[in-house]
Each structure stands twice: as structure tokens, then as C-alpha cells.
Structure 1
Amino acid sequence: MPDDTILYVCTTCRAADDAPDGPRGGARLLDALRAELDLRPDAALRIEPVECLSVCKRPCTVAVASADRWTYIYGDLDPVASARTILDGLERYAGTPDGIVPWRERPEAFRKGVVARIPPFPAAKAG
């Protein structure tokens, strides 16, 4: 993966089965992603926890961003079982020049869980 690929994980997402005083689904997803990433020492991915991605009706939620690529927001992710699927999907994302993975090559969780696709930030115009 490009060194500048960042996976933002909403740590405040609350899964339907979360205990009221237990860890939230988003925090559990973050832990699962970090554990799965440890199994992939060659993956050049930075995982960043964020307080809220404002997709509260579709927990658990992540966003993937990289310079000169489309940014994606995905929801409805299982807090534990999705870690491998997410990282597999990000490998496909990294293998494209613009971040657009052909629909049929996306993991099912990404096809069903896409919340938004945001175009790359335009390069600054010279003088």
C-alpha cells in the first residue's frame, strides 16, 4: 500500500450488541484492525482513531484516504469480523492509480457498506 494511505476508524461508533458500559464497537474494530495489521508487516498503512465520522446510523464506520485518490467512507462493518476484509479491500484500493476499485473486485462489505465516495482534492494551480 502507498505509505500515505490512512484508515480512519470511528471509535465512538456503537454496535447494536454493545454493552452499555463496555467498549464500543468502533473501539473493538480499531483493536481488531491493529491486530490484523500486525500480521501484515509489509502493509504501508496508517490506522488513525477518530472521535466521530458522523455516520451514527451505520456503525461501525471507517474512512480510507490517500493523496491523489478518491476517499471512501464505509459503514455497517462488524467490529471484529471485518478487520481482514477491510485490509484486503485496502490492498485492492492501493493497487489502483486513483483509488477506484472495480465494483466486482470490491469485498462485499465495501459494496454494501459504502456511505460516500469523495473525489481527490484538486492540486493547487500555479500562480
Structure 2
Amino acid sequence: MIPATLFVCSLCRFSATEKSRGGLSGGQYFINQLQTELAVLNLQDTVHLQPVRCMAACSRPCNVSLAAPDRLTFILSGLSTTESATELVEFCQQYTTYPGGRVPFKERSAVIRAASAFILPALPAPN
């Protein structure tokens, strides 16, 4: 598996109308769920979870980006902070195993297909 970075907006709301629960933003809650799911699939050393203070897409919480050198970059928007951690981590696993991060559309879960906002071409690996 090729290492990747999962950038997650830590300030995202739970929904358009609910900013926080129990003192946690939706984004921070999601990050906590993702850490647990990464450990379940033993991916915590392959997928680096990187909180980002804001990804400037506040109208569609929660927002993430999955990237690695020489791989496509996926920008996902509108992920449920309470219901999509498992699907996102499974997608991370697919991303790290497929050449160039090119996970076939039909092999992505419905959650990931619906949240896919942009897919950017791969940046060359640093020399």
C-alpha cells in the first residue's frame, strides 16, 4: 500500500443547522471516528489523518481531501460526520492499493460517489 494523507476539515458542522455537539465540532467528531476506523482496518500507519482548520466549503459539511504523490487527489464534500467514517476509510484503503489512486467508479461506495466533488490529476512526486 502507498501512504496517503487524508485532510479533514476540523471546523465543519454536523449539518447546516447544527454546529457542535457536546463541545465538539462535527469535523472533530468525524476525525475521532476516522481514527477509530483507521485502527480497525490497521491503516493508521498508511493513511495519515491531517486536520485542517477550514476547507472553505461550509455550505456542504463535512469536507475532506485524499492525496498522495503521483496519485489522483479526491476532494469530497457533504460527508455525514456521524455516518460515513466507515465508507471513507474503506475508500482510503482502496485508494492506497489501486495504481495511481484510480479507484474504479463502480467500486466506490454510494456515499463516496455522492460526495465526490472533484478529482484532480496527480502531482509528480518530489525528487
Q: TM-score, normalised by structure 2?
A: 0.86
- 1:75-114 → structure 2 map (5 Å cutoff): 75-114=77-116
| Identity value in percent | 32
- 1:9-28 → structure 2 map (5 Å cutoff): 9-16=8-15, 17-19=18-20, 22-28=23-29
Q: Tell me the SS of whatever aligns to 2:112.
A: helix
Decide whether aligned partners of structure 1 residues 117 and 42 sit closer, same or farther in structure 2, where only a CA change above 3 A counts: closer
- How far the C-alpha of 1:19 sits from its partner, in A, is 4.0
- How far the C-alpha of 1:67 sits from its partner, in A, is 0.9
Gaps spanning 5+ residues in structure 1: where?
Answer: none
What's the Cα RMSD here? 2.1
Q: Tell me the SS of whatever aligns to 1:53.
A: coil
Gaps spanning 5+ residues in structure 2: where?
Answer: none
Q: Tell me the SS of whatever aligns to 1:57.
A: coil
Work out which of the two has the higher radius of gyration on C-alpha atoms and give 1 or 2.
1
Task: Count residues with an aligned counterpart.
Answer: 124
Decide whether aligned partners of structure 1 residues 101 and 42 sit closer, same or farther in structure 2, where only a CA change above 3 A counts: closer
Q: TM-score, normalised by structure 1?
A: 0.86
Name the counterpart of 2:2: 2
Name the counterpart of 1:116: 118
Cα distance in 2, alignment partners of residues 81 and 70 from structure 1: 25
Amino acid at match of 1:76: G
